[in-house]
Amino acid sequence: MRKAFVYLTAAAALTALAALPVKAAEEVKIGFTAALSGDFAAYGENMQRGLELAIGEINAKTDNGGVTLAITTADDRGLPSDGVLIAQRFCSDDTVDIVMGYSFSSVALAAATIINDCQLPVLASAVTSPDLAGVSPYFRRNVLTDAVQGELAGTYAAKVLGAKRIAALNQQDDYGIGGTDAFVAAAKAAGAEILSREAYVLGTKDFKTQLTSIKAQTPDLLWVGGFYTEAAKIAQQARQIGLDVQILGSDGLLSPKLIELGGASIDGTILYGMFDPSVAKPEVQAFVKAYKDKYGEEPNAWAALAYDAGYTLNEAAKLAAAKNGKVDRAGLNAAFAEIKAVPGVTGPTTFQENGNREGTVVYLQVKDGKFILAPKQLN
Amino acid sequence: MDILLQFFINALMLGAIYALAAVAYTLVYGILEMINFAFGELFMFGAFLVVSFMLPQVSLFGVMVPMPGLPFLLAAPLAILFVAAMGYLIERCAYRPLRFAPRLAPLITAIAVSVALQNLAQSVWGAQELSYPSFFLLEAKPIQIGGAYISMVEIAVIVTAAVVMTALHFYVKKTRMGRAMRAAAQDVEAAALMGIPVNRVIAMAFIIGSGLAALAGIFYGAVYLFAHPHMGFMPGLKAMVAAVLGGIGNIRGAMLGGIVLGFAETFGAAYLPNGSAYRDAIAFGILILLLLFRPQGLLGTRLPNRLADRGAMAFKGSASAIDAGLARLSAFFAGRDLVRYASWGVLAVVAVSVFFIFPSPYWARVFVFVLIYALLASGLNIVVGFAGLLDLGFVAFWAVGSYFTSILFVEVLAKGYGVDMSSVWWLFYVNLLLGGGLAALFGMMLGYPTLRLRGDYLAIMTLGFGEIIRLVATNWVDLTRGPMGIRGIPVPSLFGYKLGSPVQLYLLGLVLLALAVFLIALMVRSYLGRAWVAIREDEAAAEAMGINTARYKLYAYSAGGFFGGVTGVFFAHSQQYISPLSFTLFENILILMLIVLGGMGTLAGPIIGAAIWVVFLEVARDMPFIQQHHELRFMALGILLVVLMIFRPQGLLGQKRQPLMMS
Amino acid sequence: MPDQATVLALDDKVLLDVKGVGRRFGGLVALANLDVAIRPGEALGLIGPNGAGKTTFFNIIAGAIPVSSGSIHLDGEQISGLSPDRIASKGIARTFQNIRLFDEMSVLENVLIGRHRFFRASLFGLIFRTKRAHAEENLSKEVARKVLARVGLADKMAQPARSLSYGDQRRLEIARALALEPKLLLLDEPMAGMNPTEKADLSRLIVELNRSGMTILLIEHDMKAVMGISKRVIVLHHGEIIADGSPDAVRADRTVIDAYLGRRG
């Protein structure tokens, strides 16, 4: 026992000595949380992959202002209660400087008070509930709220696409309801008629019933406020029952899986998003290639936003390190407020005071199994 | 007309898939009187396997593996064979050792197998949906009948289902094995005496059932063009409902039940107000109505044997090496006073937790969750552990308590009347009682229609009830704010002094748990508890001794519901936010498993189970392989429970004897 | 003690009155139009070959199976149509052919279940452990202990029921039924599976019980065993009563012999 103790002390002293001369890089530890098991683990997994890709690239840089990134992950199962627990876990863990992730708004909402109490900054990348705006001075997200997105899309549908008779389907959650509320209001204001609006639960497989009713209403546009998994099924089943209508979808559709799952039926679907995989910008192409090389699949909106969040964090961390000589929670939070127009695959990131991101969306269309920029954009 | 025709086609196709899977449930139930929850997962494996066989390469455990790229007509039978073999193995390893165990044991094992398989599939194939490779049926053009369309896949589904079920019908009627199956379905013991190889018959039922489930899964995947680890869960439940609908144990009934359910769902979703959002509730609604008015099902003739000979959860000692080791632990507690024993459990938790909670708010928060789950498990334990009634809808009570206080505080008082919530701090304490009382009332309501049913029927019925409550909470947006949830629920406070920190919440929770255990102990140690345990041990004998079993079952439901409701109130205020996502069937299964883990029908078991499991979940987060495969945590639980059920069904610290008298 | 015949003549008070009771299962007639009157203090034996309908008759009296026709009265009060627990509360206790104890409960707790109908304490009373709640629990425990002493299980009260020997389990079942303080005790083949010593012991116990005033209806497959206990025996065959009388008369009865030998009478 004694001997071991002596050795240990000696070893510790040596390590400490060895560490002294070189100034260690400032490690910024990310506490990542999302639903990583259960029905909806796929979205969380995409986010984790996007973020880990960014971290790998950043840490491979030779000169990154003395900042390196590290990550620890926790599965919240999409449960608010687990969100609370994980928030407390990250709060109590002094090494965690920032929380990232969140695949469901309700989890982030449950965690918000705790995160606020311990003044731990959050940079979320997939939660769009308007309730989260200004929920805490430490909470930010690099995704537009569904209200903003939906409103833009409603105007786009009526004014640019010239839709007169619209049927709407929405996912029954904060994302689908919030976006579709705004969509419906904006489309009505722009002169379109809303023929019907129906909700479905995330994870629904069979849409034939709703689509059969919708077919009887003869709409000229079908709005889908939801995720790609269901949208792919909606498109396919619409074709199966002979409903040939222009589909317009929210940014939850933006995933290569939409095309893979939807096959030929999805062709022609228009959707919006902040990330355009088709754009010939070099950084987008580099991202898509790197992601494919690493994970064997193409990135989607969840991955792209998480990837950008990683780079946005890096900017803030470098700024904080330059200012304070170290990166801590308070410094990081202050830096987030200062950084402007951090470039990324989803466009530049700037945060508003309430934690929302400034920005707009682009309209994409599925054409021959690829996303292209839609011929008509909202000006 | 076109629209009706299209609905008809949709309904028939959906019904055919349900019918195929329903036959699987009914075959096994007919012989073993056991609901094999795992059929839903075998359904999922059918879809995954066929997709895997058809693709040139598939990512397994994150590694690209070359695959044969078989044509559909080869891949499908191969997948079916594979799944049939899985079904056989599951029966052999997990269920057969429990053949003569109390009837709750195989049921809980089946749920555990189902949880393990789901998470296994996520580890193997990943969390993403896998898209269905195109094949000739998918490429064929749909047929147009007037304005309605029917695709070749749908035709194939309907025709194959019809052919398979006709074949099965003749198999059961005409072949020797089929006749043996029918004989075993009449009376397993008599069949065994007549020289029928019962083990082979049962294995065959599982093989055929698993094959049918796989076939249904393959078709389901082909129609909706995907495969996903959780795809089998809901269709599995629906197929089970279909089997009950037709009269469980009756093959033609299962077919009819499947078709009826397909039609009810399709037309209900189309014509009921907000029908599509509630479509999953339709199946459960029908189920509840059916069980109320015609519990034997549409075609069933034999009423579910209400007074089962086997006790619900009374284990005759099982000998094993593990048992011997753990028996020492039990021996330490055995014979000791019940309340003291429970206090030991609580004290142990407190003693251990004290070292963690004060230095770390995180561990305090973890133990708040231990307390919440311990409270829930203690409540459910009254129903399951003492009265021996399986309850898969217990989360509904939790939800009722949570929503009651949240709606009252936030939506009514703060938003409706502009009351300052901190001025009515005392209402929290009142609500603990009111929320509990309301949930107890729900318990009566849930209990009443289930009184005539025995264990497994009861399980499905309560499951349906729980799902309906969750769907109402999700879809009745005006009342509950739906999926957005209710936020801004005030933390508990005492004379204006906020009890919001994790340690304060922990202490408050501890007081609640201590009170709950104390109350439960007082109830159990009286004629009330004796009546519950008597019902659990032998319902017919209990009745013959003058116990009004229906009434005491209701008492058990209400008492359990009360504690569920109380927990809900505490949960809402400690978390300050609630949403329907918390009240899932999986959570209910989890709570049930905590009780099994700790020891059913003991006071300390639920607490110990909750402590072990919640702490394990948190500690496991740091394990490197868990960081990559989070779902393994739950797979571990599934496997642990199957092993526990076989080798130590009374739970880790399950003391076999509970004093049930006043001291 | 006056002999049976005088009792019948002097006092035709009836405890259990079974009138025209029939029971059909589908097309099968299990019991056809039975008329049985059991007098207070009587130990009536019910015998008959396998499948004669003895247990069905028992289950009908206890309410486990409803009657298809006819009526049953206990002390002038109709009990047919009531649920088993109500019938038990009115004072009919039974044992089962294949022992049905509450295995995981202790011997004493099993007997306390028999006391169930005497408990009145409310939930409030239970939770606050009022004097009354304590008093009734203590009273029942006292009765239970006495009953257990009577059947010879006083030293095994704390054991779980499942740990008892076969013979003791039979005794416990009887003790549980006695704790209900029944007006009528139904014993369904209590001696089945016992060795001769156990049989003799139990038979003595039943006779003692009857001497102390308990009315007993006893099913027994074994004719000899019944003869030692009952002064009056009913023979059931194919759901019908083919003989009713003293043991000696029944034993000599031609139809009974035919029934037992398997000839149809």
Q: What is the pLDDT of residues B2-37, one digit of tens each?
A: 788 888 988 999 999 999 999 999 888 888 878 888
Q: Where are the alpha helices (DSSP H) in B225-337?
A: 233-246, 251-271, 279-293, 321-333
Q: What share of chain B is helix, strand, coil (3-state, %, to 5)?
A: 70, 5, 25
Distance, in Å, from the CA atom of B555 to the CA atom of B388, rounded to the nearest integer, reads 13
| B203 and B332 share one domain | no
Do B353 and B479 sit in the same domain of this protein? yes
Does residue B369 sit within a domain? Answer: yes
**Which amino acid appears at position B457 of this protein?**
Y
Looking up residue B581, the CATH number of its domain turns out to be 1.10.3470
Q: Do B527 and C105 touch (CB under 8 A)?
A: no
Confidence band of B340 (pLDDT split at 50, 70, 90):
low
Q: Which chains share 3+ C-beta pairs under 8 angstroms with C?
A: B
Residue of chain B whose alpha carbon sits nearest to that of C108: B661
Q: Assign B172 a pLDDT band (cuts: 50, 70, 90).
A: confident
State mean pLDDT over C169-186: 93
Question: Do B471 and B281 contact (CB within 8 A), yes or no?
Answer: yes
B554: exposed, middle or buried (C-beta count within 10 Å: 0-12, 13-18, 19+)? buried
As a whole number, the mean pLDDT across chain B is: 84
B47 inside 8 A of chain A by CB: no
**Do C116 and B547 count as a contact with CB atoms less than 8 A apart?**
yes
Does residue B311 sit within a domain? no
**CA nearest B518 in C: which residue?**
C127
In whole angstroms, give the CA distance from residue A180 to residue C60.
65
Tell me whether residue B98 is in a domain: yes
Contact C265, C259 (CB under 8 A): yes
* Total structural domains within chain B: 2
Supply the pLDDT for residue C104: 85
Q: Which residue of B has its CA nearest to A210?
A: B270
In 3D, which of B662, B498, B517, B475 has the Cα closest to residue B573? B498
Residues B333, B258, single domain; the answer is no
Q: pLDDT category, B351, cuts 50, 70, 90?
A: low
What pLDDT score was predicted for residue C116?
93
Backbone angles phi, psi at A310, to 5 degrees: -60, -45
ipTM confidence score: 0.90
Mean pLDDT of B170-195: 83
Residue A42's Cβ-side half-sphere holds a number of Cα atoms within 13 Å equal to 24
- Tell me the C-alpha distance between C201 and C196, whole Å: 9
Please tell me the predicted confidence (pLDDT) of residue B298: 77
3-state secondary structure of B487: strand
Q: Does C111 touch chain B (CB under 8 A)?
A: no
Residues 249-268 of B with CB under 8 A from A: 265-267
- The answer to whether B14 faces chain A, any CB pair under 8 Å, is yes
Q: Does B207 touch chain A (CB under 8 A)?
A: no
Determine contact: A173 vs chain B, CB below 8 A. Answer: yes
Residue B639 lies in a domain: yes
Q: What percent of chain B has pLDDT over 70?
A: 89
Are 3 or more Cβ–Cβ pairs between A and C shorter than 8 Å?
A: no
The shortest CB-CB distance from A206 to any of B14, B231, B586 is to B14
**C-beta separation of A297 from A270 below 8 A:** no
Q: For residue B114, count other CB atoms closer than 10 A to its CB.
A: 24
CB atoms closer than 10 angstroms to residue A218: 11
Asked if the C-beta of C119 comes within 8 angstroms of chain B's C-beta atoms, the answer is: yes
The answer, for C167 touching chain B at a CB cutoff of 8 Å, is no
Residue B663 located in a structural domain:
no
* B267 falls within a domain: yes
Q: What is the largest CA-CA distance in chain B?
A: 78
In a shared domain, residues B263 and B331: no
Q: Are B206 and B91 in contact, with CB atoms under 8 Å apart?
A: yes
CATH class for the domain made up of A25-144+283-338: alpha beta
Give the pLDDT confidence of A19-34 residue by residue, as tens digits: 444 445 788 999 999 9
pLDDT the model gives residue C9 = 43
Distance from CA of A255 to the nearest CA of B (A): 12
Chain C CA closest to residue B548: C85
C126–chain B Cβ distance below 8 A for any pair: yes
Rounded average pLDDT over A205-217: 89
Q: Which stretch of DSSP H or E encloses residue C94?
A: strand C92-94
- Please identify among residues 177-236 of chain C the ones whose CB lies closer than 8 Å to any CB of chain B: 177, 180
Do B262 and B216 fall into the same domain? yes
Nearest residue of B to residue C88 by CA position? B546
Q: Is the pLDDT of residue C26 over 80?
A: no
Q: Which two tokens stand for residue B126?
A: 């990943």
pLDDT at B478: 87
pLDDT reported for residue A17 = 47
Structural domain span for residue B112? 2-293
Kindly state whether residues B154 and B266 are assigned to the same domain: yes
**C100:B656 CB<8 A:** no
The answer to whether B482 contacts A172, with C-beta atoms less than 8 Å apart, is: yes
B223: closest CA among A257, A203, A233?
A233
Q: How many beta-carbon contacts under 8 Å exist across B and C?
A: 114
CB contact under 8 A, A105 and B484: yes
The backbone torsions φ and ψ at residue A362, rounded to the nearest 5 degrees and listed phi first, read: -110, 155
| B636/A contact by beta carbon, under 8 A | no
Average the pLDDT over C86-97 and give the result: 93
A49 touches B: beta carbon within 8 Å: no
pLDDT band at B335 (very low <50, low <70, confident <90, very high): very low
Strand ranges for B576-616 from DSSP E = 577-578
Give the residue ranges of DSSP H helices in C95-130: 107-114, 123-127
Please indicate, yes or no, if residue B307 is contained in any of the structural domains: no
Residue A41: pLDDT band (50, 70, 90) is confident
CATH, domain range C1-91+182-265: 3.40.50.300
Chains near A (3 or more Cβ pairs under 8 Å): B
Instruction: Say what the pLDDT of residue B343 is.
Output: 61
* A189 Cβ contact list (under 8 Å, min separation 6): A154, A155
Residues B341 and B285 in one domain: no
Find where tokens 């430490």 sit: A138
- Pair B608, B512 in one domain: yes
CATH superfamily of A147-273+362-373: Response regulator (3.40.50.2300)
The 3-state DSSP class for residue A17 equals helix
**CA of C246 to nearest chain B CA: how many angstroms apart?**
30
Residue B662 domain-assigned (yes or no) = no
Q: What pLDDT score does B43 carry?
A: 95
Report, as an integer, the average pLDDT of A206-214.
89
CA distance C110 to C103: 9
Contacts of A131 in chain B (CB under 8 A): 484, 487
